[in-house]
Amino acid sequence: MTLAVALTGIGAAAPFFLTAGFTSALAGEKTMHIAMPFGPNSPVPDPRARQNGWLSNRAGVSETLIGLSYDMELIPRLAQAYENMSPTEWKLILRDGVKFHDGTPMTAESVKASFEKLGEEGHPAHNPRLLKLLALESVTVEDAHTLIFKTSKPNSAFLWALTEPSAAVLKEGTDDLPIIGTGPFAFVSAETEKKYETRGFQDYWGGEPKLDRVVFNVIPDASVAALALQANDVDLVTNYPEQDFAALKEKGEGQLFSNETARLFFYQLRTKDGPLANKALRQALSLGLDRQLIVDATLAGVGGTPANGIFPANMASWYNTDLSLPFDPEKAKTLLDEAGITDTDGNGIREIDGKDLTVRIRTYEGRAALRPTMEITQELLKRIGIGVEISMGEYAANNDAVKSGEIQMNLQAWGTAPQGDPDYFPSTLVKSGASYNISGYENPELDALLEKGRSEFDDEVRRPFYEEIQAIINEDLPLIPVFHKTQVSVGNGKVTGYRIHPAETYLATVDLDLEQ
């Protein structure tokens, strides 16, 4: 079966130095300062590696072949059309007139070269995780504007995976231009975990950007970021403190931006061994969580909604409406009693294998709601007789601690559908042997459903597979969903052209501007 689809329209991001195509550094140039919680992990963060692509994509420096609309549908970006030639072959036709930030044209050869770097060990762009998501086997140039992508197996999520920010099309950097993308803004410099600066690119294929410069300031503490806005040190805070946002909303003050996202706050559990290998205990943990209380207490009623599963309701095409994650502490206690996890010595803590049951939970800094969510969880679980030790740690170290069994629960915040397709999140976190399956969870039925979902190209056929996957996760609970995040941002009253994307994918576009 051959499916040909033409793609139309999109806006994007751009470049810097005083070379052809870059805005000049005039005294009156228009610069926007943006506060964000996370930043570059190196002075030259290649957008194709790890999470660098998210920053570069949001900064308008790098672009992907295909993008996601604000309705989470596929839209054109650097590719203007595609054709599904067979279950393992995709033809992509590139947009005319695209220039890299050094002024050279984007061609099929340059796109191929960029993707080949993903598999080159030792190169800064090396990204085996993305290659696995794409199931990419080869890229062939048919002519100057046409490429054939071949996958190692049928992969219906292929086009969606191409929207992943790390699937950026880049040219090899130089001393003058360390990162050479195609967006409306060009990379100028980066300071590790401090700052990321860009300059407008006049020769951007989507039109000249309205801003001359954009400076992203890394401020992990949302309260400190809010103070920076009040002091006029920044023009926009992307992740504003929910309590303060609610107060501004109540007073009718401030330039407020809000939108539901696909970001899920969830606990990843060590299920392979240790106390949480017990399914009844995992189910009791979930039943003991008052998700509405957590949302009200940590997000002030403006920053999220309780989760009924891994996907939010705004993912209407894939959301399983039959699922729920109720708060029922009495049922939790009954489950624990029936599993023989009881308090025999009357100290308020149940025992398992003859020892007090104490669950170790950890999370990380960077998202304001993480710490209070963990603290409320500690109190709620104590009420059903489960001892809890909590601590803060570094993100990667926390994952290692779960994998080794040092801790049993790791509170995280992930976008469940950063590519708009339902395959990414379960395939990355709960599929047997997946890159981020640190739980040690294995379920052959779930694995088989994921394979079926990737092998079918008709969404109506795929939908029941992913509905069942969601149901299995709610039953087995290798991870416990808590709430879906609503992003709240505040500007200085002059910000225009800013929209919060459901996948949090785009920010600095040609339309972003500051009123004078």
For residue range 501-516, list pLDDT tens digits in order. Answer: 999 989 999 999 999 8
More confident residue, 418 or 437: 437
The CATH code of domain 3-232+492-514 reads 3.40.190.10
Q: Cα–Cα distance between 11 and 7 in angstroms, integer?
A: 13
| Average predicted confidence (pLDDT) for the chain | 92
Q: Does 261-486 carry CATH code 3.10.105.10?
A: yes
Tell me if residue 215 falls in helix, strand or coil. strand
pLDDT at 365: 85
Question: What is the domain partition of the chain in residue ranges?
Answer: 3-232+492-514, 261-486
Long-range contacts, 331-337 (Cβ 8 Å, 24+): 331/287, 332/283, 332/284, 332/285, 332/287, 332/288, 332/384, 333/284, 333/384, 333/385, 335/280, 335/283, 335/284, 335/287, 336/280, 336/281, 336/284, 336/384, 336/385
pLDDT at 8: 40
Mean pLDDT of 476-483: 98
pLDDT at 27: 53
For residue range 169-190, list pLDDT tens digits in order. Answer: 999 999 999 999 999 999 999 9
pLDDT(16) > 80: no
pLDDT(24) > 90: no
For residue range 380-432, list pLDDT tens digits in order. Answer: 999 999 999 999 999 999 999 999 999 999 999 998 988 888 998 999 999 99
Strands (E), 37-135: 66-68, 74-76, 79-86, 89-94
Per the DSSP assignment, residues forming a β-bridge with 189 are: 197
Q: Which residue has the tokens 């299920």?
A: 271
pLDDT(469) > 90: yes
Share of the chain above pLDDT 90, in %: 82
Q: Cα–Cα distance between 422 and 412 in angstroms, integer?
A: 19
pLDDT at 15: 34
pLDDT(132) > 60: yes
Q: Which residue has the tokens 């880049």?
A: 170
For residue range 319-355, list pLDDT tens digits in order. Answer: 899 999 999 999 999 999 999 999 999 999 999 989 9
Quickly list H helices, 200-241.
222-230
pLDDT at 50: 72
Task: Please provide residue 146's backbone torsions phi and psi, each rounded to the nearest 5 degrees.
Answer: -135, 135
pLDDT(238) > 80: yes
Is the CB of residue 511 less than 8 Å from the CB of residue 200?
no
pLDDT at 4: 44
Q: How far, CA to CA in Å, does 143 sit from each of 7, 109, 469? A: 19, 9, 41
For residue range 270-313, list pLDDT tens digits in order. Answer: 999 999 999 999 999 999 999 999 999 999 989 999 999 999 98
More confident residue, 221 or 402: 402
Confidence label for 1 from pLDDT (cuts 50, 70 and 90): very low
